[in-house]
Each structure stands twice: as C-alpha cells, then as structure tokens.
Amino acid sequence: MNPTQHVLLARALIDANGGVDACCKPVTRVERSQLYAYRDFNSGVFMPADVIDALESRSKNPVYSQFLFSQVQAEPQTACVVQEAADVDEAGNDVWRFLRKAAAEGRPLSESERREAERLLQRVDREMAELRAVLHQGAGT
C-alpha cells in the first residue's frame, strides 16, 4: 500500500467519526496534532493499529482494515472451483457448529469463545478469498 492510500484511508476514517476534534483523546490515545499528521500527504506518519481499531469500532465503519484485508493475495491450494467452494462450505460449517455448541448453554459468549469464533471466521474469509482467486483465474473444474 502506498502512502497516499494510507492518508486517504485515515481521512475517511477520521471523517466517519466526525472529524479531527471528535477523534482526540479520550476517543484515541493521540492528540489533535497527530490526527492532522495522519491526514497530511507530506507527513510520512501512518495511523497505528490501535488508533485504527478505536476509530473503526466507534464509527462501526471498518474502512481501513477492510482495505488492508482486501490487499492480501489469496493463494488457493487448487485450481478447482468446486474444491474451493467445498472449502468455503466446510469453514462456514465449522463456525456454525462451534457457535451452536457455545450458544447451547443460553449465556453470552465468553471472551475466549469470541476469540475462537473470530479465528474460525478468519478461516472463512481466507477460503472465500481463495475461491474468488480461482474464479477470477478462469478455472472451472
């Protein structure tokens, strides 16, 4: 990702939270001047992950992290679209089985259960990216 993209994403995220003044301490750990630096094409300063997380959580708009995730190159294990689709199905079923079992007790999920669910969901995301890669490569069998 180039510096221009970082600045544009920082601007979008700060704006989604109501601007620089709305994003200062205590919303994030940074001062007003630092937030302006993230928006400046000439500053060479990039927004740290904890600040990104705080602003994305506040705005419920994961614009920065979604862009970063979209830049990850998927490396399918096969060129078979059917196999990649089956991998997506298997990963999704793992999420469903885990959450069904965890929710069976009728209580909110624990922190460790939420972390495990997130790990399983990340696998679904990877499998989906691999399926898309195979589809866009023109593979069909």
Q: Is the pLDDT of residue 26 over 50?
A: yes
pLDDT mean over 37-54: 95
pLDDT mean over 76-89: 93
Angle at which helix 32-39 crosses helix 3-16, to 10 degrees, equals 130
Per-residue model confidence (pLDDT) at position 69: 78
Q: Is the pLDDT of residue 93 over 60?
A: yes
Q: CB of 65 within 8 A of CB of 101? A: no
Those residues whose C-beta lies under 8 Å from the C-beta of residue 27, and which sit 6 or more positions away, are 17, 54, 55, 58
Round to whole Å and give the CA distance between 44 and 47: 10
Per-residue model confidence (pLDDT) at position 138: 63
Round to whole Å and give the CA distance between 103 and 106: 6
Q: Is the pLDDT of residue 139 over 60?
A: no
Round to whole Å and give the CA distance between 35 and 55: 11
> The whole model's pTM is what?
0.59
Q: Which tens digits make up the pLDDT trace of 123-136?
A: 998 899 899 889 88
